[in-house]
Amino acid sequence: MNNRLKEIFGDRPVLCDGAMGTSLYARGIFINRCFDELNLSQPELVRSVHEDYLQAGAEIIETNTFGANAIRLRRYGLQDKVAEINQAGARIARAAVAQLADKQAGNAWVAGSVGPLGVRLEPLGKVGLDEAQAIFAEQIEGLVAGGVDLLVIETMPALNEAQQAIRAARAVAPELPVIAMVTVDEESRCLDGTAPEVAAARLAGWGADAVGVNCSTGPAAVLTAIECMAEATDLPLAAMPNAGMPRAVDGRNIYLCSPEYMASFARKFHKSGVQFLGGCCGTTPNHIRAMKSFLRASEAQKAAVQHSRSAPIVTETPPAPIEQRSRLGQMIHDRTFVTMVEIVPPRGIDCQKEIDGATMLAGLGVHVINVPDSPRASARMSAQSLCIQLQQKSGIETLLHYTCRDRNVLSIQSDLLGASSIGLRNILCLTGDPPKLGNYPDATAVFDVDAIGLVNIVRRLNHGLDIGGNPIGASTGFTIGCAANPGVPDIDNEVRRFAYKVEAGAEYAITQPVFDLRILESFLKRIEGFRIPVIAGIWPLTSLRNAEFMRNDLRVSVPDSILLRMQQAATPELARAEGIRIAQEMLETARPMVEGVQVSAPFGRYTAAAEVLAGILPGTSKSDKAQPASEGMQIG
């Protein structure tokens, strides 16, 4: 198929415009406004920006529609005006170009600007790929209706999002040329970790007519990325960097790269094979004018650039079979009934009590100790630290609970690589409790991904790849678990999320505490089509107040009959004993339905967990005594 951009521009360098937002801000539009909406309310203001860039020498101007998609416009209550805003943006730019043609012999083209959605897509986010493509298609339909000449898909942080935008463009307007650009970090990698040469090859394979880099941390990082891209594709290249990194000056973010500095990089970009040159945040008509002067003075022939047309080969390193990864993996594979006890990390640095408890439970025959990750958003010793100390000092295998609350995707990968390197083999992927539930309600949360995205990350690490598809060497080899809550009110959504977790790579599941076995049985029937081994949570209640907390605060289904039994216990001792009896009944009835149980050790009373397991563990008997209380699993 012929390259549509080459049919229009040949091989000559083409100058594009600079930042729309920077120019609008300079004209007094505050950053809390929806800049895209100005196409409707202040079209002459937008047109004046286009005209300034055309007068500076730009041959391609981008529409003021970078954020004009339904997700971003929803923040301003404008999601119903996607078509109207995009059509207006295209027509304003078209009018500016027409005026230029009337005044001088030169010609210019209108590019429809399509920016990112501003949310993560699956597998790391909640927006599906098909949904993203439909959102992009809605925006592109408006741009096409307004009369754009080409499309610029820009500032894409992740390749899967760029892919959906390109697919939408090809579906809506297969005849229009498409320039697809990613944004990179200081190390010149895409924000999802993808190497620029891999990005170039994939963007080309998906149907872009030109590929490149825009925005980012400034010209230097973009140049490095472009040089890598030039080795992976023979498509035209595009470079439109920010005018450096912004600096805070008198309360304003100022981009300090001078027009002359940007022009000097235009020369370097040109020598590296870039055909489409322009600017992003911080660039002004003065920057574009300086770059135009360079292009006029440049040699007619570009420096020869070798283009390798083969994309780098990425090889996976699959993990060992699940039965070889850990004792838990072996038991899951063999369908051996698993017994776990939960040990919560201490609030300080002394974990001797936890080590002693794990040693005692290991002697009784408990298979695995699982360790929550700051449950109820409380500040405690890290779960990873306690896991490794328990394994080293008690000899029992551990299961690391890992939440998405406190880490971005870079930190998540670093943590998991470290956990694998020090011998942790089992992981339970959780979204995590929000900070408002804990003692520090003003603490910030990250939640770059939820539990579904986390399972995807762990599965990729298990296959020797980071989230950008880059090889990491040896695979991590985790057994991957997820959470399930059979008693939530919106069970349809819970089942749907559970299916996504299984599809993402979960190999077993642990439920929230079970008090209503009818609900557990119903849930197990709902997941028959995608069933993985299920380990039932068992929670020995300590009092009526504890039971009410479980029902009302932790969203666990506690039947009225259980509340009545706890209410009828006359003393705290009788209440704890009744709680253990209830837990034993739950275990005995649930055992034929599931592949294992996780028993809480409330308030560090580990003998209470042992008593619940009496009759199952070889080292316990039903006469063992305990004093139960509890803490619990987090949001999954």
Q: What residue numbers does the annotated binding site for Zn(2+) cover?
A: 215, 280-281
* Sheet bearing 150-156, strands edge to edge: 14-15, 274-277, 237-241, 210-215, 178-182, 150-156, 109-114, 60-62
CA-closest candidate to residue 283, choices 121, 589, 57, 110: 57
> In the beta sheet, which residues pair with residue 249?
252
Q: Would the CA dihedral through 413, 418, 421, 425 be positive or negative? A: negative
Helix (H) or strand (E) holding 136: helix 129-146
Q: To which residue do tokens 């299920």 refer?
A: 534
> What are the helix (H) ranges across 194-313?
196-205, 219-229, 259-271, 285-297
CA-closest candidate to residue 153, choices 212, 237, 235: 212
Tokens of 115: 């920016």
Burial of residue 413 (CB within 10 Å: 0-12, 13-18, 19+) is buried
Binding residues: 215, 280-281
Tokens of 308: 């390798």
Distance of alpha carbon 123 from alpha carbon 68, whole angstroms: 24
For residue 424, the SS3 value is coil
234 Ramachandran zone, left/alpha/beta (phi>0; psi -120 to 50): alpha
Tokens of 149: 């000449």
Distance of alpha carbon 388 from alpha carbon 396, whole angstroms: 10
Decide the pairing of beta strands 274-277 and 252-255.
unpaired
In Å, what is the CA distance from 43 to each residue of 31, 64, 72, 542?
Answer: 17, 10, 20, 67
Tokens of 511: 């439920």
